[in-house]
A and B are shown apart, each in its own frame.
Chain A
Amino acid sequence: MNIETLFWIFHTPLMVVFLIGLVDVTGIWLRGRVEGADGASAGRKFIILLGKALRAIFSRQFPIILKAFITEAWFNRRLWQTSRWRWLSHFLLLNGFLLLTVLSGLAALSEKVLYHLFHLGHIPWIAMWYMADHPVTALLNEIGATMMTVGLLFYVFRRYLARLAQLRTGSMDTWMVVGLGLILLTGWVTEIVRLNAHYDGPAPHLAFIGYPLSLLVAGWNLPWKALADGFYLGHGLLTSIVIAAIPYSKFMHAVATAMIATVDAVQQERVVVQGGTAHVPA
């Protein structure tokens, strides 16, 4: 059986588990009160909230919402004010993850849609996204993975080595470290093994860590092709398992914190615009 088919056989049910988890957690949130929806069902509350969000986005408030999202959810201004090291760790993890996610999305779009459906594979700036060995794609992937790895090492240092008094490291944190750590480790190994199994296009010399390491072990007499398939599957499955667990893990804060921080910042901005001072409950 083709390795990619095997991957999808495992990946698809795990994504269903992820969606069920997402519905479960959102369902709990929707048991809370929503202004203007007293006694309404969860579905009704969801529609009301979605309507409010869309109306806010497509209104004159959009610049305020965008600013709040950028400064509070993405840049994490409060963390910047608190500790530059913590901010850097968080920034590297978040943005490394975002970069890799965008690259995966572009690869899927360019290969599955633009190449297979619309036969646009001959256009270089479309083909480059699904050719992992294209210098630019290789470089960007390498940057994303390096950012995440450095960010995770900072995190491990703070939580498990420095053991700062303010932290209450628990199973949720450990699960996150183990999950992310395994994904990153298998990701690096998969890349090194894949590079020794075959090149897909031009030489990925801009992959500044993976490529030199792959050259270092190239002389080893190993079944590179079989290993590449195995690690590809293993890395893919680990990623799928971690994604499936997101709603029940600390990873969920990526969604919840972004929304809470943005909404609160918008509410505070409104208080200020109305002549008040921030930090007043809206």
Chain B
Amino acid sequence: MSRPDLSLFTFQQLMSLDACTRCGECTLWCPTFTEKPDLDAITPLRKIEAVRRFVRGQYGLLARLFGPRPPKPEALQAHSTGTYDCTLCGRCAVVCPARIQTRELWIAMRRDLVRQGVYPAIFDRLRETFLTAHNISGDDNANRLIWSQNLPEIPEGVGKKTRAEVVFFVGCVASFYPQSYSIPQNAVQVLEKAGVDYLTLGGEEWCCGFPLVIAGMGDAAVETMRHNLDAVHRTGARRLIAACPSCYHTWKHDYPRVLGEPLGFEVLHLTELLAELLADGRVPLRPLEETVTYHDPCDLGRTSGVYEAPREVIRAIPGVTLVEMEHHHQYSLCCGGGGDVEMADKDLVAAVSRRRIGEAQATGARVLLSACQQCKRTLAGAARQERLRIRVLDVVELVAQQMA
């Protein structure tokens, strides 16, 4: 067992280990700890406390004078379980009185756990699949546009163009999980209606790298990121849109940082483009008398700061009444589908999503909208499990449904 590699953390992150006062505010807001109250190692304050202890025990003055004290294997294992049972929703950062940027800290901790070899074994399979199949499902990557087969007519932008103004980055979940096919299907219909010059990359689109980045295996994703960037550059696009908030966040924030260069094009979430198209009157909509509620995806809201664009799109549909859930915007509850937790603990994901769908039901809305295929999958699963009469849709699906 080796020592923590402190170069995996930033100066600010190491300082924040001493800034945590264990006030416990984060424990009240942690969606996974709420469902797993016996696993104290999940709580942000315990994760910070553990790493602080490991670091001090091996790098502190006493360690230098009397030799390092490695952590007990069971302590390291407990820390690993707590760190990998986190959905990385970032809610703790919003309420932390010390303003510790927790999400990035958890990812740094995961990177160190991977280096020390103390992480769920299933992540090795994820890395292997990612590197060989270039997607997270292990399907043949040439089938990335399989979702388009059900369209009445396959648009030119879907696999038939090589250059366009806009690249529509579909993402792995929408490309390979049938429950999510309707998101790209509806997205391209809206783009067609608005006359957007777009294309999809087909087999040239590889996984954006997000699952590996948050697993703490980001180093393995660098080549893939480079491949994707080159693929987009070849199209001459000025814009890249992503319907998946995780892809969006990775493109917008991680690509320039990891690759060390500006992208050379603008990155937008699909809802941002939709808001723009609707404001320009390029997508006329029919009225709909319906009460809907909106779930902020963690990677779009808290992590990327996009809260209003999806709401603007929803409000642009005549007759629709938008009601907020008990927790919304930066305080929004996680759906449970983030942080790769699904790979390690499916029951935990189900418990978190049940709580969120309960909040949606409490609003009295008959439609729960989101702007993320993973949130849609998770919440629709919870609605089915709980036998709730609430439709779970992506914002773009509702827009396509109401197109005049």
Contacts and interface: CB of A to CB of B under 8 A. Distances in A.
A263 B98 contact: no
Given A24-B61, A28-B14, A279-B90, A261 B99 contact: yes
A32 B61 contact: no
B306 interface: yes
Contacts of A82: 25, 95, 97
B27 A166 contact: yes
Given A24-B60, A168-B45, A260-B16, A32 B98 contact: no
A20 B61 contact: yes
B18 A25 contact: yes
Nearest to B20: A253
A67 B21 CA distance: 23
A277 interface: yes
Contacts, number: 129
Interface in A70-87: 72, 76, 78-79, 82, 86
B24 A271 contact: no
B286 interface: no
B19 A257 contact: yes
A265 B100 CA distance: 10
A21 B61 CA distance: 8
Contacts of A72: 99
Contact of B100 (A20, A170, A260): A260
A256 B305 contact: no
A49 interface: yes
A157 interface: no
Contact of B11 (A20, A30, A167, A278): A30
Contacts of B317: none
Contacts of B302: 279
A173 B22 contact: yes
Contacts of B8: 33
Contact of A31 (B14, B19, B46, B90): B14
Contacts of B18: 25, 29, 252-253, 255-256
Nearest to B28: A166
Contact of B305 (A79, A259, A264, A280): A280
A250 interface: yes
Interface in A233-264: 250, 252-253, 255-257, 259-261, 263-264
B221 interface: no
B330 interface: yes
Interface residues of A, number: 45
Give chain B's interface secondary structure class. Answer: helix
B95 A259 contact: no
A28 B25 contact: no
B6 interface: yes
A124 B61 CA distance: 47
B143 interface: no
B95 to A, nearest CB: 7
Interface string B291-305: 000000000001111
Contact of B12 (A25, A263, A276): A263
A204 to B, nearest CB: 35
A273 to B, nearest CB: 13
B305 A170 contact: no
Contacts of B103: 281
A74 to B, nearest CB: 13
A41 to B, nearest CB: 13
B2 interface: no
A184 to B, nearest CB: 19
Contact of B23 (A20, A86, A170): A86
Interface in B302-330: 302-308, 330
Interface string A148-175: 0000000000000000101110101100
A34 interface: yes
A11 interface: no
A167 B12 contact: no
B269 to A, nearest CB: 12
A194 interface: no
A45 B11 contact: yes
B253 A281 contact: yes
Interface in A50-107: 72, 76, 78-79, 82, 86
Given A261-B99, A264-B101, A167 B24 contact: yes
B60 to A, nearest CB: 6
Interface in B85-103: 90, 93-101, 103
A124 to B, nearest CB: 42
Nearest to B56: A28
A261 B93 CA distance: 11
A29 B7 CA distance: 10
A263 to B, nearest CB: 7
A31 B6 contact: yes
Contacts of A271: 305
A257 B104 contact: no
A264 to B, nearest CB: 4
Contacts of A20: 61
B10 interface: yes
Contacts of A255: 18
B75 interface: no
Nearest to A276: B305
A49 B11 CA distance: 10
A281 B101 contact: yes
A78 B22 contact: no
Contacts of B123: none
5 contacts: A24-B61, A34-B10, A256-B15, A260-B15, A277-B307
Given A260-B98, A276-B305, 4 more contacts: A21-B61, A78-B95, A256-B19, A278-B305
Interface of A: 20-21, 24-25, 28-34, 45, 49, 72, 76, 78-79, 82, 86, 164, 166-168, 170, 172-173, 250, 252-253, 255-257, 259-261, 263-265, 271, 276-281
